[in-house]
Amino acid sequence: MNYEVVIGIEIHCELKTKTKMFSGAPSSFGNEANTNTNEIDLGHPGTLPSVNKEAVKKAIQACAALHLEIDPLIKFDRKNYYYSDLPKGYQITQQFFPIGKNGYVYIDDGDTKKKIRINRIHLEEDTAKQFHIGNETLIDFNRAGTPLIEIVSEPDMTSGKQAAQYVETLRQTLLYIGVSDVKMEEGSMRCDVNISLNKPNEGYGVKTEIKNLNSIGNVQKAIDYEIERQSKLLDEGKTITQATRRYDESTKTTIEMRKKGGSIDYKFFPEPNIFPIRLLDEWVSEIVNNLPELPEERKIRYKKDYNLSDNEINIYISNKELASLFENVMKYTDNAKAVSNWLITDVLAWLSKNNIDIVNCKLQPKELASLIKLIDEKVISNTQGKEVVLDGIMQGEVANDVIKNKGLQQVSDIGFILNLINEVLDEQPQSIIDYSNGKDRAVKFLVGQVMKKSKGQANPVLTNKLIIEELNKRINK
Amino acid sequence: MNIEEKVYEALNNAKLVNEKINAVINFVDPKEQLENLNEGKLYGMPIALKDNISTKGIKTTAASKMLENYVPIYDAFVVKKLKEAGAVTICKTSMDELAMGGTNLTACIGPVLNPYDLKRMSGGSSGGSAALVSSGVVPLALGSDTGDSVRKPASFCGVIGVKPTYGRISRYGVIPYASSLDHVGYFTRNVKTASLTLEVLAGRDDNDMTSSFKEVEEYSKLLNSDIQGKKIAIFKNVIDSLTNQKTKDMFNDLIIKLKEKGATIEEVSFNDDLMKAMLPAYYLISNCEAASNHSNLDGLRFGVQQDGSDTNEIMINSRTKGFGPLIRKRFVIGSYGLFVENQDRLFRQAQKVRRLIVEEVKECLDKYDCLIAPASNDIAPLLDDHSRDELSDHYLIAENHMVIGNFTGYPSMTLPMGFIDKCPIGVNITLKAFDEVNMFNIGLAIEESTGLKDLVAKVI
């Protein structure tokens, strides 16, 4: 039997701010446990929250990029529950008045574009991170208080593929506007999926929630599995249990964690320590109008400004660091085609061979532009560029220095080249005969010989030209 | 006497007095403070702090078993301000557990006794601080005021109790009771010191988003007891619910003297139903906020931890054993009021009542400079007095009207009004938001009228 699939997604996304949502402690990933905390993050008695302006700004950027209406009156609420990873015994969130509501994104569903509506975006703080080792529970409070936005979609998706595209579209967008690292594997973007099946023309079925999906691939796989599982149960006339499930990567199945019976009463009420904050219209407009470029906008610009192929553009869209390197190199040259060729083939190959990330690479953008120019001007050959100079500039060297130090400079001194040519011609009388018999191949051979004698430094084009002149001279004698 | 001698004498007196009145939770060694003394406005003044004010490296228990071993890793904003001003803390004072109470009977170390009569209460929740100032040990002690927790014990102990406008003094570092009602307040023995103290404690603190950016005035230099033309409103509902004729007469005498000083005095009545709803509304708001505020006290990261098989059980056991019965009762009431099925008709309804009361008071203070009433119906109750009828008018209104200062956040001050049976009773004034200059000036006029200044109870 065919069922209609209804999928909604909640995404928690850590905002990339220097400090935490309500405290001045640093907000960064990967530091030693319990070093990025202060009395506020630990929920010590007497502490009070102060709203991080930068986090509000980033939430506004996210709202603008995802077309949400922004509420200019920022209000926070308390969500009360006891858990060892929640220092205050409540989380400060925006239950009653989210910062943004009623937005949307378009996802590419094959040939057509599908609109996925976004119900709301709200600001809140993250909990601490727990580790269970044997019978022990260890808590790292570094994450406690990290600013989060929660993005809640409408139930507009109908397949695992659409869900994966939705998450990817959000990931790219948030990455582009710089509000988050959106690294699912590090937990800076976390994904919970709600899914239910129903027969056509019937109401929504019982939904299950799959929590904490840690990659876009798993979003799709977990949903595909869950659709199959629920279909089978319904086919057999069984009912679906409302429950929270998790995706198990080893068995590629979803596993029930807990049933959702009577839901917890979080006793939400307005946070008394933060008065409602009225955002200045000018401040909001300034943020919205200066929104960093979105992926869609960049695609159009790359086509228009650089005339790159769709293939190249897609590579840049999905690799933001490469795109930013591309733009930096383009500050020093007009030759987009050549820059793009070098980056997509040679530079990526070099990085992969040397196992270095783009962000850690020492290449100065200007030097790649120089390299391209030096080859264009025939100061060095293309082969020398790829084999020798690239390696140097990728390690932070200046192209001209590499050429000088490695003795690569092409020699265009006519006298010097002529000397070599005559030496070669004297040594290769057969070639002169071949040439006079119309075998043009002989010229190529001779150029090769001259290059060899010059240790590759002789300007090959000039050498070619001079050899033909010399050959003609000798034949006409 | 030099500063060091003065401070050590105060510490010594505190120890002697404490044997009689049980007002201190921890004594503080002043040595380090004396070595790093700032020549500020309170240079060398020995002071006491209510034990819910966080002091870095010094135990801060809020008189709760739960926090018996808690040593803050930071100083409250007011503690920093006091250090800058050169004050020297000599002790942390007793209080009702977690500042929830008006008797000071619920402190984990037992009740604070009234310096004027050891059989009586000091009042609470800032009873320890009130009693130490009353006993002449220190000229200044800090407290906190959520319902009337500074202004009521001030009345019972014969001292001045000040609660400035909400947001005038940062609450950062003060262990809360109910955030929307909590104020830092303090006790002194005269208006001059009271006005000087606010200059030190007031000011914007970025750690408390509810603290005001308003400039702090030089209250002590602006002191002026000329109240010619000031319009004072007698809080009629309170007068009508007084049952003690001596209190009424004493209040009337004061009113006559204030008229003689040129003040225009009229009676003002508020909606009686609202006045009767005030205390229930207060209980709901304060307990709901408190139940949430104190959820951090779970024994996991600080405080007294009880055993348990997992973190959840540790939290349950720590909270069950860590709090006194009154606190547990209030947490239950608070949680009940916040439940999704109750919140509209309890917590939210209480907030509506609060708003209506605020509107009435605001309307009154748009026309008058200040609202005046006796701080209490009677002198401090006996320690074993269980006779109070919590639903009677005189309890609902006469004993608890000062909650208005917390509902509105308006500045409010209690001053000694007179004595009944050798025990003091106070008068309370409440003014417009941020009108502390007038509060001290009218307070000074009252001080001159009563002649009750620098009172000291003979405890030792």
Give the residue with greater pLDDT, A385 vs A248.
Answer: A248
Task: Mutation target for B interface from A22, A74, A273, A278: give the one with most B CBs within 10 A.
Answer: A273
In which band, very low, low, confident or very high, does the pLDDT at A268 lie, cut at 50, 70 and 90?
Answer: very high
Using CB atoms, which residue from B54, B335, B347 is nearest to A46? Answer: B54
β-bridge partners, B113: B121
pLDDT over threshold 70, residue A20: yes
- CATH number, position B202: 3.90.1300.10
Length of chain B: 460
Using CB atoms, which residue from A42, A82, A274 is nearest to B209? Answer: A274
Burial of A328 (0-12, 13-18, 19+ CB in 10 A): middle
Mean pLDDT of A104-131: 92
Q: Is the minimum CB–CB distance between A336 and chain B shorter than 8 Å?
A: no
Exposed e or buried b per residue across B421-449, where buried means at least 16 C-beta atoms within 10 angstroms of its C-beta = eebbbbbbbbbbbbbbbbbbbbbbbbbbb
Residue A401, pLDDT score: 85
Q: Which residue range(s) make up the domain with B429?
A: 1-460
- On chain A, the residues whose CB falls within 8 A of the CB of B287 are none
Query: How close A48 gets to chain B, by Cα (Å)?
Result: 6
- On chain A, the residues whose CB falls within 8 A of the CB of B73 are 39, 44
Q: Is the minimum CB–CB distance between A147 and chain B shorter than 8 Å?
A: no
Residue A329, pLDDT score: 95
pLDDT over threshold 80, residue B434: yes
> How confident is the model over B45-100, as pLDDT tens digits?
999 999 999 999 999 999 999 999 999 999 999 999 999 999 999 999 999 999 99
In which band, very low, low, confident or very high, does the pLDDT at A261 lie, cut at 50, 70 and 90?
Answer: low
The values of phi and psi at residue B341, to 5°, are: -80, -15
In which band, very low, low, confident or very high, does the pLDDT at A387 lie, cut at 50, 70 and 90?
Answer: confident
Residue A70, pLDDT score: 98
Q: B328: how many CB neighbours lie within 10 A of its CB?
A: 13
pLDDT over threshold 90, residue A30: no
Query: How close A19 gets to chain B, by Cα (Å)?
Result: 14
Q: Give Cα separations from A124 to A52, A121, A178 (angstroms).
A: 11, 10, 18
Residue A335, pLDDT score: 92
In which band, very low, low, confident or very high, does the pLDDT at A262 lie, cut at 50, 70 and 90?
Answer: low
Residue A477, pLDDT score: 66
In which band, very low, low, confident or very high, does the pLDDT at A69 lie, cut at 50, 70 and 90?
Answer: very high
Q: Is the minimum CB–CB distance between A426 and chain B shorter than 8 Å?
A: no
Residue B66 DSSP class: G
Q: Is the minimum CB–CB distance between B167 and chain A shorter than 8 Å?
A: no
Question: Cβ contact (<8 Å) for A267 and B209?
Answer: no
Question: Cβ contact (<8 Å) for B338 and A269?
Answer: yes
pTM for the whole structure: 0.88
Residue A217, pLDDT score: 94
Residue A84, pLDDT score: 94
pLDDT over threshold 80, residue B213: yes
Residue B104, pLDDT score: 94
In this predicted complex, what is the ipTM? 0.97
The mean pLDDT value of chain B amounts to 97
pLDDT over threshold 70, residue B141: yes
Q: Is the minimum CB–CB distance between A44 and chain B shorter than 8 Å?
A: yes
Query: How close B171 gets to chain A, by Cα (Å)?
Result: 8
Give the residue with greater pLDDT, B419 vs A373.
Answer: B419
In which band, very low, low, confident or very high, does the pLDDT at A110 lie, cut at 50, 70 and 90?
Answer: low
- On chain A, the residues whose CB falls within 8 A of the CB of B53 are 46
The answer to whether the CB of B185 falls within 8 A of the CB of B143 is yes
The half-sphere exposure of B313 on its side-chain side, counting CA atoms within 13 A, is 5
The answer to whether the CB of A13 falls within 8 A of the CB of A152 is no
Rounded Cα–Cα distance for residues B230 and A176 (Å): 63
Give the residue with greater pLDDT, B168 vs A404.
Answer: B168
Q: Is the minimum CB–CB distance between B288 and chain A shorter than 8 Å?
A: yes
pLDDT over threshold 70, residue A442: yes
Rounded Cα–Cα distance for residues A243 and B185 (Å): 51
Mean pLDDT of B165-175: 98
Residue B20, pLDDT score: 97
Rounded Cα–Cα distance for residues B315 and B297 (Å): 8
Rounded Cα–Cα distance for residues B88 and B33 (Å): 6
Structural domains in chain B (count): 1
Using CB atoms, which residue from A46, A89, A272 is nearest to B298? Answer: A89
Mean pLDDT of B206-230: 98
Record: fold of A414-476: Arc Repressor Mutant, subunit A (1.10.10)
Q: Which of A144-158, A358-372, A388-402 has the lowest mean pLDDT?
A: A388-402
Residue boundaries of the structural domains of chain A = 4-281, 293-406, 414-476
Is B125 designated active site? yes
Residue B395 DSSP class: I
Among B209, B184, B181, smallest CA distance to B198 is for B184
Burial of A125 (0-12, 13-18, 19+ CB in 10 A): buried
Q: Give Cα separations from B202 to A133, A293, B53, B171 (angstroms).
A: 48, 46, 15, 10
Question: Cβ contact (<8 Å) for A84 and B315?
Answer: yes
Question: Cβ contact (<8 Å) for A44 and B302?
Answer: yes
pLDDT over threshold 70, residue A168: yes
In which band, very low, low, confident or very high, does the pLDDT at B390 lie, cut at 50, 70 and 90?
Answer: confident
> How confident is the model over A198-223, as pLDDT tens digits?
999 889 999 999 998 999 999 999 99
The answer to whether the CB of B211 falls within 8 A of the CB of B182 is no
Q: Is the minimum CB–CB distance between B384 and chain A shorter than 8 Å?
A: no
Q: Which residues contact B247 (CB under 8 A, 6 or more apart)?
A: B374, B376, B377, B378, B420, B425
Q: Which helix (H) or strand (E) holds B418?
A: strand B412-420
Q: Which of B149, B155, B211, B449 is catalytic?
A: B149
Question: Cβ contact (<8 Å) for B179 and A272?
Answer: yes
In which band, very low, low, confident or very high, does the pLDDT at A259 lie, cut at 50, 70 and 90?
Answer: confident
Residue A413, pLDDT score: 78
Using CB atoms, which residue from B73, B171, B302 is nearest to A48? Answer: B171
Amino acid identity of A62? A
Q: Which of B94, B122, B125, B155 is catalytic?
A: B125
Query: How close B7 gets to chain A, by Cα (Å)?
Result: 28
Pairing of strands B183-188, B423-431: unpaired
Q: Which of A46-60, A129-143, B317-331 has the lowest mean pLDDT?
A: A129-143
